[in-house]
Structure 1
Amino acid sequence: MKQGHLKWRLFSLFTMMALFLAGCGESYITTLEPKGEGAEMQFSLMMISTIIMVVVVLVVTLIFIYVMFRFRERKGDENKIPEQVEGNHKLEIIWTVIPILLLIILAVPTVSYTFKLADVTPMKEETRDKDALVVNVTAYLYWWEFEYPDHKVVTSQDLIIPTGERVYFNLKGADVKHAFWVPTIGGKMDTNTDNTNQMWLHAYEEGIYYGKCTELCGPSHGLMDFKVRAVSKEDFNNWIDKMANVQPKVDTELAQAGEQLFQEKSCIGCHAVGNEGSRLAPNLSNFADRTRIAGILDYNEGNLKDWLRDPEEIKPGNKMTNTYDKLEEDEIDALTEYLFSLSVEKK
């Protein structure tokens, strides 16, 4: 008996924990406050399906309650055998037709939105719209690269897009399968290593939207975040012009020492700054304009120094950990000063 009580208590405890944990998460990672065309379509489908399910549950519950009371056993009827009903064509037709109608109600907008969300005609080579903005997205362990091929601009971690128009994406994985997801303005799509997927996003309002990798890709999968900054068309064009002609200016002696160290430590062999460097690691040309460090840390001097001291502790399994020697504190200070000078918007 005691063992039964213990099991019941454990079941109740885990049920309550599951209920509370179901509400956990970041408020800015949500599909319930759509700020974009794609997200609005998906929210509409969720609402339609939820309403249908709620109506079905209510109707079934009411029928169950009615039947439970209407046909319950009454005193004096213990030996009475109820009328045996073997079939009712009218009822059978009703409970067959109703689910079909509900499926049609759900299927029509689902199919319609599926084709709209998959329409990337303006970015196709044979039907290319010269005014359409195309961005090549490459997912790495554990960061994101964004290339604007028509403008010869490459950046990382912070994706800049104009509001009021569809932006088209070529999605590719560089090492393993990842997934590109910006829930507030659009949907999710895998980034594979053996093919390129295509999709579009359309942000209605200016602001910062948060994206994540949603395909389990390694020990730091949960830390593979990025930001989408939606700006006006004019601000976007100004940003593109600055990025296309970026010329880093290092003013202080400490920043100059950091720049020299950046070369000597072969950081430039993986990272790009301006027109120099490689694309094996995040492009740092506009590092000082970003909103996060390593995609997840608040943007401040202390967090940058922590990242330079021990990136493995912050993002386990990242590829930077074993590619450079441990830095002395004075070297960390110099590199920090240099990286905080890399801006195209603050100069």
Structure 2
Amino acid sequence: MMKGIKKWRLFSLLTALTVFLSGCGAEHLSTLNPAGQVGRDQYNLLLISGAIVTLVIIVVTIVYILTIVKFRRSKVGEDLIPVQVEGSHKLELLWTIIPIVLLLILAVPTVIYTYNLADVSGMEKVDEDGDKKAVTVNVEANLYWWEFEYPDLGIITAQELVVPTQEKVYFNLKAADVKHSFWIPAAGGKLDTNVENINQFYLTFDNSSEGLKDGVFYGKCAELCGPSHALMDFKVKSLDREDFDAWVVNMQASAEEQTLEGEVAQQGEEIFNTSCIQCHAVSGAGSAGGVGPNLATFGDRNRVAGFMDHTEDNIKNWINNPEEYKPGNLMPQPEELNKGNKFSDQELTALAEYLMGLTVED
């Protein structure tokens, strides 16, 4: 009876693992579906190391099974002592050379790919007019959100990185508070963001993300950084070069005053300018350094606070009690912004209406 129960437990465990592993191929999130050359290089290293490990396991298993079968007690008796091979020069050379060869097979491409990824000289190349050829993004990791500045384009955004396809995009990575780690699983990475120094690398994206789930790749913080580390997500939207250039123009134009439609949205703007403007910018044109995330593209996003569905109710819930949804984040509770009182439902509705109207996409 107990053996039957144990078998069913094992079957249940294997079934659960199968369900979990079935999600490993998600195109917007998985390293098993590389979205660019860097991701493919790292995937190839994964295949090489996996093949080497599999080979070693197979050889060791075969030797182990043959040994058990050949020298089992029922076959050779109690008193047989197998031939001793201790000190055999041939065998010692064999099991010294083989591991060295296997390590070289793995080490050579690893070193090549590592040095290639560290080559960021293209970041400084300019065209005939003196403009930078490549897109460079300054990434600043904060508790628990991401800021993306395009210094050569004069624009800035947060929580959603926008990049062109079919070219190298260079990154300067740093942290504003504690160590984080920048990782876009489908594109490649990861690389730490430190407070005391800047790390640099590049990524490439083959195709537009438009056809993916939610139309974006998912990015993660891959370094345990606090109680809401698991909720420190960001999204990556890859666009064809023409669409990317149009997005840049729209972001630069967002510095101009926008006319809001609707009395509720206008009321929300008034509340925002009284309570929130000291931390959050609403223009995509400018430089980095805001206390809170830049909200210029808030209406174009698909998540609230990086992980909640982009709905009016979630916006209201987040504003009303950010600590409940992201413990340890630095956004003030509403009482600190509204003279010791919670925002009324009408005020929250107005703020949500205003924020949903912050958009740069056509």
Fold match, TM over 0.5? Answer: yes
- Offset of 1:321 from its aligned partner? 2.9
The one-letter amino acid of 1:151's match is L
CA distance in 2, matches of 1:97, 1:162: 46
**Are 1:209 and 2:217 counterparts?**
yes
Q: Which residue of 1 aligns with 2:361?
A: 345
Q: Which residue of 2 aligns with 1:187?
A: 189
* Identical-pair percentage: 49
Q: Answer whether contact 1:181 1:212 (CA < 8 A) is retained.
A: yes
**Which of 269, 272, 288 in structure 2 is aligned with 1:262?**
272
Q: What are the Cα deviations for residues 78-132 of structure 1, in whole angstroms up to 9, with x where unaligned? A: 3444444443222222111111111111111101101011111122599x98201
Q: Secondary structure at the match of 1:268?
A: coil
- Offset of 1:21 from its aligned partner? 9.6
Q: Answer whether contact 1:249 1:342 (CA < 8 A) is retained.
A: no
Q: What are the Cα deviations for residues 137-191 of structure 1, in whole angstroms up to 9, with x where unaligned? A: 1111111110011111011101000000010011111111111100101111111
CA distance in 1, matches of 2:159, 2:313: 19
Q: Answer whether contact 2:138 2:151 (CA < 8 A) is retained.
A: yes
**TM-aligned CA distance change 1:306 to 1:149, over 3 Å:** same
**Which of 243, 258, 262 in structure 2 is aligned with 1:235?**
243
How many residues are paired up?
335
Q: Answer whether contact 1:209 1:228 (CA < 8 A) is retained.
A: yes
CA distance in 1, matches of 2:64, 2:108: 30
The 5 A counterparts of 1:54-93 are 54-74=54-74, 77-93=77-93
Over the aligned positions, Cα root-mean-square deviation in angstroms equals: 2.7
The one-letter amino acid of 1:223's match is L
Q: Which residue of 1 aligns with 2:42?
A: 42
Q: Secondary structure at the match of 1:23?
A: helix
Q: Answer whether contact 2:155 2:286 (CA < 8 A) is retained.
A: no
Q: Which residue of 2 aligns with 1:324?
A: 337
CA distance in 2, matches of 1:197, 1:23: 33
CA distance in 2, matches of 1:94, 1:129: 58
Q: Answer whether contact 1:178 1:217 (CA < 8 A) is retained.
A: yes
- Offset of 1:75 from its aligned partner? 5.7
**TM-aligned CA distance change 1:304 to 1:96, over 3 Å:** same
CA distance in 2, matches of 1:338, 1:79: 88
CA distance in 2, matches of 1:142, 1:84: 61
Q: TM-score w.r.t. structure 2 length?
A: 0.85
CA distance in 2, matches of 1:209, 1:23: 20
Q: Answer whether contact 1:144 1:282 (CA < 8 A) is retained.
A: yes
Q: What are the Cα deviations for residues 282-316 of structure 1, in whole angstroms up to 9, with x where unaligned? A: 11112111121111011111211111221111111
Q: Secondary structure at the match of 2:172?
A: strand
Instruction: Answer with 335-344 or 73-82: which moved more.
Output: 73-82
CA distance in 2, matches of 1:189, 1:35: 17
Instruction: Answer with 140-149 or 77-86: which moved more.
Output: 77-86
Q: Which residue of 1 aligns with 2:213?
A: none
**TM-aligned CA distance change 1:149 to 1:73, over 3 Å:** same
- What stretches of structure 2 of length at least 5 have no aligned partner? 210-215
Q: Answer whether contact 2:228 2:329 (CA < 8 A) is retained.
A: yes
**Are 1:117 and 2:117 counterparts?**
yes
- What stretches of structure 1 of length at least 5 have no aligned partner? none
Q: Which residue of 2 aligns with 1:23?
A: 20
CA distance in 1, matches of 2:125, 2:164: 22
**Which of 284, 301, 312 in structure 2 is aligned with 1:301?**
312
- Offset of 1:60 from its aligned partner? 1.3
**Are 1:273 and 2:282 counterparts?**
yes
Instruction: Answer with 79-88 or 96-105: which moved more.
Output: 79-88
Q: TM-score w.r.t. structure 1 length?
A: 0.89
